[in-house]
């Protein structure tokens, strides 16, 4: 379980000490890996973060890449996230998964198995460009836990 925090710093420390390689070996051996916020973003190739400046969201391009594409945590919880993510996707950033606060996405291997939510109305979304180049946000069905 990897908690939230500064994704940029976390990845740098992991890489400096070989934790990234140990996590990959664990993942390839079938160990369940989980995390929230920065701890979820780390598993993807790229995503959105405030790691560079606390008052500004920016893309991060060097996640661990266990899961293909991009990730945007706090999709409904931080006002800069959704517009930045849409702008990045429109500009060629890899398509990906955005997750509202109080929501989790369960992957089996590299595919989404289930979305669960602890709050009514909260879910996850597939965000990508459509055939016309416009950003398409597709809500994923979430099972409410409470």
- The set of catalytic residues is 37, 74
Which three-class secondary structure state does DSSP give residue 25?
helix
Q: Which residue has the tokens 């409470």?
A: 146
The whole-angstrom separation of Cα 70 and Cα 30 is 22
CB atoms within 10 A of CB 28: 9
* Angle at the Cα of 124 from the Cα atoms of 121 and 128, rounded to 5 degrees: 130
Which three-class secondary structure state does DSSP give residue 78?
coil
Which three-class secondary structure state does DSSP give residue 133?
coil
Question: Residue 45 forms beta bridges with which residues?
Answer: none
């Amino acid at each position: 379980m990897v908690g939230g925090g500064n994704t940029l710093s976390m990845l740098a420390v992991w890489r400096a000490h070989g934790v990234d390689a140990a996590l990959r070996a664990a993942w390839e051996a079938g160990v369940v890996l989980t995390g929230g916020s920065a701890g979820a973003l780390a598993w993807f190739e790229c995503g959105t973060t405030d790691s560079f400046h606390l008052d500004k969201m920016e893309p991060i391009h060097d996640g661990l890449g266990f899961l293909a594409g991009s990730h945007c945590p706090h999709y409904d919880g931080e006002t800069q996230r959704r517009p930045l993510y849409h702008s990045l996707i429109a500009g060629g950033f890899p398509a990906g998964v955005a997750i509202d606060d109080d929501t989790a996405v369960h992957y089996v291997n590299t595919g989404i198995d289930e979305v669960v939510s602890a709050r009514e109305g909260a879910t996850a979304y597939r965000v990508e460009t459509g055939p016309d180049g416009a950003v398409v946000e597709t809500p994923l069905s979430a099972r409410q836990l409470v």
